[in-house]
Amino acid sequence: MKTIDAPPAPGANARAAAEMAVRASYGRLVAILAARSRNIAAAEDALADALAAALLRWPEDGVPDRPEAWLLVAARRRLGQAARHNRVHEAAAAEIRLLVDTMTETDPAAIPDERLKLMFVCAHPAIEPAAQAPLMLQSVLGLDAARIAASFLTSPAAMSQRLVRAKARIREAGLAFEVPGRDELAGRLDAVLSAVYAAYGTGWDGAFGDDPRRAGLAEEAIWLGRLIVGLAGPQPEALGLLALMLASEARRPARRDAAGRFVALADQHPALWDGLLIDEAEDLLRRAATFGRPGRFQIEACIQSVHLSRRLTGRTDWTALAGFYDLLVTLAPTVGNRVARAAAIAEADGPAAGLAVLDALAAAADAYQPYWATRAHLLARSGQPAEAAASFLRAAGMAEDPALRSYLLGRAATLAS
């Protein structure tokens, strides 16, 4: 198809077309290429070669009608060559099959979407948990290791090593690229969802930090969440996770004031929350609830929903919140959830009740910044300003975000004076 617009810079057009095709279909192509060989690294290399070839050829020959199919064929050919070089133990039949597939799969509608399988293999129990979310971001979305390392607060060298190890494990252990059967699905899906949530949490923490590389990660995680909902069919926890991420995202505009200062949830102005995202989250949550199978992500989304209903009612139902937190800590007794439960109990039943819950947590939460901030807040409310100031100071000393740090220092200074 010829465009009727002026034809300037065919090279630039071809480059843009190639980059768009790769961005949109990176994970789709990696998943297809790696499904048979179970070799993600080789699939990524082949795709990189195909892209390089596209950038050479398309400016000369024009952008093909189906860039994705073109890239898939070129990458397959490249994989076939590598297989000829490297594999001696596999029968030639496999290669012939590969070439036959190449001939028949040039219709984009016929290119299957294997990304869900790719996500399941990234979150396989044999892969170390700390590598699962990064591996998904790299192989499904094509993020580079340096960007992922910055997001997960580790060095690029350590992250690369982690990713290489994980890919080697998939290859050597021969982990299957498959969507588990119905019996197994719920358990395995939880690992996939947890990895996506870990990516979202990292992006959320960093969203207002000084490192712009962390800022986009929340969007990438939501992208993965939408992909899972689209590919996995109706799964209540997948719907719950997406609802949770969208509800959190809705509050983003209210998390800082005009001067960039941190605004605590209780002080946020509901008018600044994103109504469209809230409506979408509520809708997802309702769909999830029709299954009658609650899980941690649905409960966390319910917690967000209670907070967000302040937009309509002007108040927060703390008793309902404390109830949801009781339920949550029975399913996911993390330090974060237990500290948040203490805060909800303090709002519902008074600061002394909250402090009692925190006291029981002291040993486990010593290195957890929100524990100290929550403790400080409850001490201040229960008329112990000196102890509160010391706890605010401790929280400030553990805050990574300068805006949050100065908020906590400010609270400490006010109480100490």
- Contact characters 95-134, another protein, x per CB under 8 A: ----------------------------------------
Q: Which is closer to another protein, CB of 153 or CB of 266?
A: 153
CB 213, CB 203: distance < 8 Å: no
Q: Which is closer to another protein, CB of 142 or CB of 156?
A: 156
Out of 57, 252, 287, 405, name the contact with another protein by CB under 8 A.
405
Of 400, 390, 402, 344, nearest to 368 by C-alpha is 400
Q: Which is closer to another protein, CB of 10 or CB of 156?
A: 156
Query: C-beta of 406: minimal distance to another protein in Å?
Result: 8
HSE-up (13 A, CA, CB side) for residue 107:
3
Give the gyration radius of the chain's Cα atoms. 25
CA distance 18 to 12: 10
Of 127, 126, 124, 69, nearest to 101 by C-alpha is 69
Q: Is 213 in the site for another protein (CB under 8 A)?
A: no
Q: Which is closer to another protein, CB of 205 or CB of 317?
A: 205
Q: Which is closer to another protein, CB of 63 or CB of 135?
A: 135
Query: C-beta of 155: minimal distance to another protein in Å?
Result: 7
Out of 158, 168, 352, 362, name the contact with another protein by CB under 8 A.
158
CA distance 241 to 225: 7
Q: Is 393 in the site for another protein (CB under 8 A)?
A: yes
Query: C-beta of 153: minimal distance to another protein in Å?
Result: 5
Residue whose structure tokens are 């209540």: 236
CB 140, CB 133: distance < 8 Å: no
CA distance 251 to 63: 42
Residue whose structure tokens are 């024009």: 62
Q: How many CB atoms lie within 10 A of CB 236?
A: 21
DSSP, residue by residue, 90-117: S-HHHHHHHHHHHHH--SGGGS---HHH
Give the binding-site size for another protein (rule: CB under 8 A).
23
Q: Which is closer to another protein, CB of 13 or CB of 154?
A: 154
Query: C-beta of 212: minimal distance to another protein in Å?
Result: 13
Only segment of 23-31, 66-74, 187-195, 396-404 that touches another protein (CB under 8 A): 396-404
Q: How many CB atoms lie within 10 A of CB 245?
A: 31
CB 198, CB 225: distance < 8 Å: no
- Contact characters 332-371, another protein, x per CB under 8 A: ----------------------------------xx----
Q: Which is closer to another protein, CB of 113 or CB of 401?
A: 401
Only segment of 87-95, 96-104, 154-162, 308-316 that touches another protein (CB under 8 A): 154-162
DSSP, residue by residue, 345-390: HHHHH-HHHHHHHHHTTTTTTTT-HHHHHHHHHHHHHTT-HHHHHH
- Contact characters 250-269, another protein, x per CB under 8 A: --------------------
| Token pair for 113 | 């979407």
Query: C-beta of 139: minimal distance to another protein in Å?
Result: 22
φ, ψ for residue 262, nearest 5 deg: -65, 135
Q: Is 398 in the site for another protein (CB under 8 A)?
A: yes
Q: Is 198 in the site for another protein (CB under 8 A)?
A: no
φ, ψ for residue 256, nearest 5 deg: -135, 145
Query: C-beta of 206: minimal distance to another protein in Å?
Result: 10
What number of helices (H) and strands (E) belong to the chain?
A: 21, 0
Local structure of residue 285 (DSSP, 8 states): H
Only segment of 68-76, 79-87, 252-260, 402-410 that touches another protein (CB under 8 A): 402-410
Q: Which is closer to another protein, CB of 106 or CB of 406?
A: 406
CB 392, CB 413: distance < 8 Å: no
Out of 153, 168, 173, 360, name the contact with another protein by CB under 8 A.
153
Q: Is 234 in the site for another protein (CB under 8 A)?
A: no
Q: Which is closer to another protein, CB of 179 or CB of 335?
A: 335
Q: Which is closer to another protein, CB of 273 or CB of 368?
A: 368
Q: Is 210 in the site for another protein (CB under 8 A)?
A: yes
Q: Which residues bind another protein (CB under 8 A)?
A: 153-155, 158, 209-210, 366-367, 393-400, 402, 405-406, 408-409, 412-413
